[in-house]
Amino acid sequence: MTIQDPAAHVAERYGRLRSRPEAFIVLRPEAEVAAELAAVDPALPLAGLLFAVKGNIDVAGLPTTAACPAFAYDPAEDATTVARLRAAGAVVL
């Protein structure tokens, strides 16, 4: 198993379950996640760890919805928690 396999698995499973209310509202494109995984410095403490972010926490480039897509907005930057995880090598799904 490669580090990219879990991202592909999540994307495939999301595709099958997207109509369920407890599924993700938004996932990053699989190719985007794979590219970020490939670029992660393996020396970082969380190198390649995949993580999901609840819809009320800002992730630059993804809409923040707080579970209500009608009130979505596009944040200019990551929330502090997301920025710290990314700086440690973790990758947002």
Q: What is the reported pTM?
A: 0.78
Query: 51-62 in b/e burial notation, b at 16+ Cβ within 10 A?
Result: eebebeebbeeb
What mean pLDDT comes out for the span 64-87? 94
Q: Which amino acid is at 27?
A: L
Predicted pLDDT at 17: 65
What mean pLDDT comes out for the span 15-44? 81
What mean pLDDT comes out for the span 60-71? 90
Predicted pLDDT at 4: 56
Within the chain, strands assigned E span: 50-51, 91-92
